[in-house]
Amino acid sequence: MNVIISASDLAVELAGAEPPVLLDVRWQLTLATASGEPPFDGRRAYEEGHIPGARYVDLDRELASEPGPRGRHPLPDLAGFGAAMRRAGVSAGRPVVVYDGGQGWAAARAWWLLRWTGHPDVRVLDGGLPVWEGARETAVPAPGEGDFVPAPGPAGLLHADGAAALARSGVLLDARAGERYRGEVEPIDPVGGHIPGAVSAPTQENAGPDGRFLPAAELAARFKALGASEDTEVGVYCGSGVSAAHEVLALAVAGIPAALYAGSWSEWSSDPRRPVAVGPDPR
Is residue 84 domain-shared with residue 164, that is, in the same domain?
no
Distance CA 233, CA 167 (A): 10
In a 3-state reduction of DSSP, which class is residue 279? coil
CATH code, domain with 207? 3.40.250.10
10 and 127 share one domain: yes
* Span 100-138, pLDDT tens digits: 999 999 999 999 999 999 999 999 999 999 999 999 999
Is position 149 within any domain?
no
Of 10, 238, 245, 254, which one is the catalytic site residue?
238
Task: Indicate if 206 and 164 belong to the same structural domain.
Answer: yes
Q: What is the DSSP letter of 130?
A: G
275 domain-assigned: no
* Residue 9 sits in the same domain as residue 108: yes
State pLDDT tens for residues 163-186. 999 999 999 999 999 999 999 999
pLDDT in tens, 32-87: 444 566 788 999 999 999 999 999 999 999 999 999 999 999 999 999 999 999 99
Non-local CB neighbours of 194 within 8 Å, separated by 6+ positions: 174, 181, 182, 183, 200, 265, 276, 277, 278, 282
* CA–CA dist 169, 163 (Å, integer): 10
Nearest to 191 by CA among 132, 267, 92: 267
Catalytic annotation on 236?
no
| 119, 178: one domain | no
Residue span of the structural domain in which 222 resides: 157-268
Question: Is the pLDDT confidence value at 256 over 70?
Answer: yes
Alpha-carbon distance of 143 to 145, in angstroms, equals: 7
> What pLDDT sits at residue 31?
58
Would 144 be classed as within a structural domain? no
Q: Are residues 178 and 127 in the same domain?
A: no
User: Closest Cα to residue 281, out of 202, 182, 180?
Assistant: 182
Q: Do 168 and 256 reside in the same domain of the chain?
A: yes
For residue 97, the SS3 value is strand
CA-based nearest residue to 181, from 251, 267, 259, 239: 239
Q: Is residue 273 part of a domain?
A: no
From residue 132, give the alpha-carbon distance in Å to each of 51, 108, 198, 220. 8, 17, 36, 27
Task: Please give the tally of structural domains in the chain.
Answer: 2
- Model confidence at 1: pLDDT above 80: no
Among 54, 65, 67, 62, smallest CA distance to 96 is for 54
Residue % of the chain over a pLDDT of 70: 97
The answer to the question of residue 79 being in a domain is yes
Q: Indicate whether 272 pLDDT > 70.
A: yes
Model confidence pLDDT, tens digit, residues 186-244: 999 999 999 999 999 999 999 999 999 999 999 999 999 999 999 999 999 999 999 99
Is residue 35, in this structure, part of any structural domain at all? yes
Domain assignment of residue 136, yes or no = no
Q: At residue 283, does pLDDT exceed 90? A: no
On average, the pLDDT of the chain sits at 95
Report yes or no: 264 and 238 within 8 Å, Cβ to Cβ: yes
Choose the final residue of a domain: 131, 146, 174: 131
Contact 50, 134 (CB under 8 A): no
Measured between its terminal Cα atoms, the distance across the chain in Å is: 36
